[in-house]
Amino acid sequence: MLKSTSSQMPAYIVEKLLYLLAALKKERDQYTRAASTISNKQLKDNINILAQENNQYASELFSQIQMLGAENRNTDGIAGIAKAFDEQYPADVAGDSLQSTGEILQVCRDSEKKMIRVYREILNEPYLIEDIRRLIRCQLNGIMYAFLRLKLFSSTM
């Protein structure tokens, strides 16, 4: 049986994977900025966990893209994909300007919706390699669990 390679993966799927990578990095930076403004230690730790998970997921995804040899096929590069993500999802609030815990939690809820949408868009692709599909599904479950922990914690505040 032949293994899938980047030449067998359509270019638009590679673009979507790079888009997800840009989303993970942008949201990680947003969580880090938000966590730096929080005085509540438990909430700060929960948001830092989100940032760490996003960083881990971005590293895993980038490694998969490199193993496929697909990062060289992209014409825009990661910077171009990151710019496209910024245009589609402009930052509503800068991390430094967040004042209340409620504002921070709202930013996290909005981020959850964005991330789930991006992950599901990729999972709905019929030509996605099965190993990458498993990785994406596992990452989506991890992100949803992290947001669930944050929601449970915020409901006790």
pLDDT tier for residue 154 given thresholds of 50, 70 and 90: confident
How much is the average pLDDT of 54-71? 87
Q: What is the largest CA-CA distance in the chain?
A: 56
Question: Side-chain half-sphere of 2: how many Cα atoms within 13 Å?
Answer: 5
φ/ψ region of 117 (left if φ > 0, alpha if ψ in -120 to 50, else beta) reads: alpha
Q: Per the domain annotation, does 79 fall within a domain?
A: yes
Average pLDDT score, the chain? 82
User: Running DSSP on this structure, what letter comes out for residue 96?
Assistant: G
- pTM for this predicted structure: 0.79
Which single residue is written with the structure tokens 């980047």?
6
Q: Per the domain annotation, does 2 fall within a domain?
A: no
Question: Side-chain half-sphere of 22: how many Cα atoms within 13 Å?
Answer: 21
130: containing domain: 11-155
- Note whether 108 and 116 are within 8 A (CB): no
How much is the average pLDDT of 70-84? 54
Residue 60 has pLDDT above 90, yes or no: yes
Tell me how many helices (H) and strands (E) the chain has: 5, 0
pLDDT digit string, tens, across residues 4-20: 444 567 888 888 999 99
- Higher pLDDT among residues 27 and 83, named by residue: 27
CATH code of 121's domain: 1.20.1260.10
Domain count along the chain: 1
Q: Per the domain annotation, does 5 fall within a domain?
A: no
Distance CA(63)–CA(1), nearest Å, equals 23
